[in-house]
A and B are shown apart, each in its own frame.
Chain A
Amino acid sequence: MQEEKNDTNPAESPEHIKRSSDSYDELKAGMASAAAAFGRFRESVARGMRILFADEEKGDFNLMKYFIGLLSLILFFALTMVGYVSVKESKMEVKPVIMEASEQCIDCHVRKGISAGAVRDWKMSAHAAKGIGCNECHIPAKGAPERIVAMPTACEDPNVRREVSSRNCKQCHSDKVAEFMKGKHSKAWLAMEAMPTTKDQPDAIMAGEKGCGACHKIGRDEGQCDSCHTRHRFSAAEARRPEACGTCHMGFDHPQWEMYSTSKHGMIYQTEKNDYDFSRKIGDWYKEPFEASSKTPRAPVCVTCHMQDGGHDVSTAWGFLALRLPEEDEEWMGYRVRILQGLGVLDANGKPTERLGAVKAAQMARLTREEWEAERRKMLNVCSQCHGETWAREELEKIDGLIKEADRLMAEAVDIVEGLYRDGILPRPADYPAGVDLLRFYEVQSGIEQTLYVMFLEHRMRTFQGGFHSNPDYLHWYGWAEMKRDLVEIREEARRLREEHKGG
């Protein structure tokens, strides 16, 4: 490396300038030698290429040998890299084990193309991985409901039934079935049949399972387990997602899906749901020591609050009707009695009718203080998983207070319409109970009764459900505001009817 003398006097020029000019010289020298080396490299490559491909030179085959050696080394590295290439592996997650009995079913069903979807889904299920096949479910177990046992069958095996009762599920999942029977889902069919006008609707809607029956069938025949983890895949991960609840818990009188989806909890779910791992048990989600992970739901989904720890005994404090007994607040109790009379559960003297028995059997309301407190405690435990308990209790009690206000409006409305009956202005059919019958839903003759039923079944529902599902718009504009409007309409209509009656 040459060192160039620079012109400036070293003693005079500042340190940094001297140093930079030295390094500049070094740089130039370095570049020159690099260029020379590169030139030599180019020459040798060119010579090699000539030897390899040209016509003339006889060749230096020592060079050839080195060339081959080098090529082999390159080949070696290429082959090593091959080991690191990852090709998309399509290993099937679940390998179905098809036992002999199921073979026969599958052969015929696939050959004849009958419910081929069922076979496909089953092959993906955990049942198939354990050799649990067709007979275990489709041959009714001992004690299965008569309706299923009495069904006709088109299968070559006369024991096979198309429909399955939870008795069969109980054979292995006895704990879950027992839990389920304690909860309200198992009472759904009973509740539907207990409604006075169910028998007046087309069969397809009810027993035909196309309308009300389609959702309430979750409680038919001792429970239908495929309502949430659907057949034939029966995936628990599917059932933990809010969408599983959404088929039934949406719409007119219980729009929980809509309310939840646009609530803050729901928005977090909507934006992050693709990250969440629903294959984990609910009880494990927030267990300490908690490992921060985007795979754990950050906001509650339906099962977080309503199926704590995976318990299948679904139930809430206020229930579907937002009613409870007993009530300490006397004023509120007055409103409640009016509403219960409107539902036909209490008679004109405030005494229970046989409908109270139906309410009890279908678990439609908490009828003791302990029950209500227990459910409220359960809910507070859930809220406390994330929030502070005091805050959670205060929030829930706000909605409790709102129910009282809604009940006030409802009671007044019931009163007005009941007055029309009492004064003979609205005809009272023979099979009507003591007063207004809100449980007749839309099977009512006058506009004012329609408004009353909608006020109860649509607007009052949204007022408190919107509260508990944190949806302010549903609570206020689709709930409270509508109740107010209904009341105005009912007052107006009642006044008009009375005037007509007087005049006509």
Chain B
Amino acid sequence: MTFGITLGLGTLGGRFIQFLMPDVAEKKFSEILLGRVDDFKGSSAKFVDVAGKQVALLETDQGFSAFSRKCTDLGCLISWDDSKDQFICPCHQGVFDRNGKNIAGPPPRPLDRFEVVKKGENIYIKVEVA
């Protein structure tokens, strides 16, 4: 009897937990249009909200880079300091250079990047879309 009850109620409990676990199926990446090259010319970073993700777009010598604005320390949104040509995080004063590398403060690693795709004059970035 105990075996049966464990099996029966155990499965029921298992179903409950399956219900509660959110779906973490493979995320699909989609290319989202940010705009034209002309819109993003210039040395300062531009902030864009793409499908819920906060992105900082910057023109570098290697082309356009798209960084996640989530600071790699504890997740606050970084801002851009034009005078110093750097990303600053207001929470614990983390600093990133224009290539996303963490140069000062608590952040343990460089900023996360989004893949940038350039098609003609248009700039797309690849983000996860549900």
Contacts and interface: CB of A to CB of B under 8 A. Distances in A.
Complex contact flag A–B (Cβ < 8 Å): yes
Interface in A319-369: none
Contacts of B120: 171-172, 174
Interface in A130-158: 130-132, 136
A132 B35 CA distance: 9
Given A172-B119, A174-B120, A68 B5 contact: yes
B121 A70 contact: no
A502 interface: no
Contacts of A99: 32-33, 48-50
Interface in B1-16: 1-9, 11-12, 14-15
Contacts, number: 76
A191 interface: no
Secondary structure at the A interface, as helix, strand, loop or mixed, is helix
A65 interface: yes
Centre residue among A65, A76, A83 by max chain B CB count within 10 A: A76
B122 A72 contact: no
B5 A72 contact: yes
A102 B15 CA distance: 42
Interface in A8-51: none
Contacts of B121: 171
B3 A69 contact: yes
Interface residues of A, number: 27
Interface string A58-94: 0000000110111111111001101100000000000
A75 B8 contact: yes
Interface in A360-398: none
Contacts of B8: 71-76, 79
Interface string B14-39: 11000000000000001111101000
A96 B7 CA distance: 44
Nearest to A132: B33
B60 to A, nearest CB: 22
Contacts of B2: 69
B129 interface: yes
Contacts of A75: 8-9, 11-12
Contact of B30 (A65, A70, A100, A129): A129
Contact of A131 (B7, B11, B50, B130): B50
Nearest to B9: A72
B1 A79 contact: no
Contacts of B122: 171-172
Nearest to B127: A97
B64 interface: no
Contact of B11 (A79, A97, A130): A79
A210 interface: no
